[in-house]
């Protein structure tokens, strides 16, 4: 599917500020794809669609996730995690995306998971380091992404865990698995 069509469809579904975030994530993901040898078109497609479900009502997100059997078991966690799996369903059903790697990048961009593909890592990292992110430590994560994708994944995962623990939020098991797996993948990176 052509990027311009995706952009117009995503823009129609999201508030302006969220859409601008999507564009920044997309730009960042394409840069990372070039840096780390990933298909730039796939990175563009996955990142354009990563938040396609973000503005949907909780009830609709839940309906979509339930219709798929809750494959990531996100319904027991904060509803902010639901838009990833719901977005993957929308990407497949409404946009005709059949590439399993793109769908996984959309599905797991909120939690991460063990065994992430290079594309999944790129979208996950790009979502955290896009230029509009200004949380403490964002520049350190950006610096890691210049050095190594695996190192950036570990740093982004650690940041997620620290943040979730600091606000006393439940941590999805895939987020823990992502961090633990990234430690072994990042050795020697």
DSSP helix/strand/coil, 142: helix
Q: Which two tokens mark 161?
A: 């865990």
pLDDT for residue 187: 55
Q: Which two tokens mark 118?
A: 């290079």
Identify whether the C-beta of residue 24 lies closer than 8 Å to the C-beta of residue 47: no
pLDDT tens string 152-183: 999 999 999 999 999 999 999 999 999 999 99
Rounded to an integer, what distance in angstroms lies between the CA atom of residue 14 and that of residue 168? 29
- Percent above pLDDT 70 for the chain: 97
pLDDT band at 188 (very low <50, low <70, confident <90, very high): very low
| DSSP one-letter string for 48-98 | HHTTTTTTS-HHHHHHHHHHTT-TT--TTS-GGGTHHHHHHHHHHHHH---
What domains are defined for the chain? 3-185 (1.10.3210.10)
């Amino acid at each position: 599917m052509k990027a311009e069509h995706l952009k117009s469809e995503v823009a129609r579904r999201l508030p302006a500020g969220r859409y601008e975030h999507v564009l920044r994530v997309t730009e960042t993901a394409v840069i990372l794809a070039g840096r780390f040898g990933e298909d730039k078109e796939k990175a563009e497609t996955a990142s354009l669609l990563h938040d396609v479900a973000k503005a949907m009502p909780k009830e609709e997100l839940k309906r979509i996730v339930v219709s798929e059997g809750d494959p990531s078991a996100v319904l027991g966690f904060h509803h902010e995690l639901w838009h990833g799996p719901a977005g993957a369903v929308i990407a497949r059903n409404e946009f005709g995306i059949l590439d399993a790697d793109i769908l996984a990048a959309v599905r797991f961009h909120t939690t991460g998971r063990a065994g992430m593909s290079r594309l999944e890592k790129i979208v996950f990292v790009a979502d955290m380091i896009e230029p509009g992110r200004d949380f403490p430590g964002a520049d350190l994560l950006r610096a890691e992404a210049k050095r190594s994708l695996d190192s950036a994944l570990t740093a982004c995962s650690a940041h997620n865990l620290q943040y979730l623990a600091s606000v006393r939020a439940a941590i999805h098991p895939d987020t823990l698995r992502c961090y633990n797996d990234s430690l072994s993948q990042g050795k020697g990176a």
